[in-house]
Structure 1
């Protein structure tokens, strides 16, 4: 299992909307996440900096890396672009944190 931690940004004033959209996540998006090996997925908010900290575990890094090309992922990114920082292709502006310590 590969542990991943990713940092993104939500726009100020859109914290509640971001949460609402995830509370109502589309079943087909959940299915895709599971099909591409995502487990134990959480997103945390640092309201002071508008930072989103996503933690997830994936079974296979190569399989997971293909999830962003799915039609449902592309649709989700387009849906979320008005509430968070995104790139030209609507993907979230993000960077991955390097794990330095893990206690099991």
Structure 2
């Protein structure tokens, strides 16, 4: 099992909308995440900075990375792009974090 952590960035004033959209996560998106091996997926918000911290576990990162090529993921990114910093392909601007400690 691999643990993945990253940070992403909301636009100011979009905290409630971001939460709402994830509370109403499309069933097809949830299914795609699970089919690509995602589990224990959590996203946390620092309300003072609009920075999001995402954590998930995957069985195989190469399999998980293929989700970005799916139609549903690309549709989700386009849906989220207006409320968060995004790249030209609508994927969220994110920074991968390096694990420096783990306690099982």
TM-score band, normalised by shorter chain? over 0.9
Superposed, 1:7-86 pairs within 5 Å as: 7-86=7-86
How far, CA to CA, are the matches of 1:59 and 1:83 in structure 2? 30
State the SS of the aligned residue for 2:82: coil
Length, aligned pairs only:
104
Question: How far apart are residue 65 of structure 1 and its match?
Answer: 1.1
How far, CA to CA, are the matches of 1:45 and 1:68 in structure 2? 23
Residue ranges of structure 1 left out of the alignment (5+ in a row): none
Task: Please give the TM-score of this superposition, normalised by the length of structure 2.
Answer: 0.99
How far, CA to CA, are the matches of 1:65 and 1:43 in structure 2? 18
| C-alpha RMSD of the superposition | 0.4
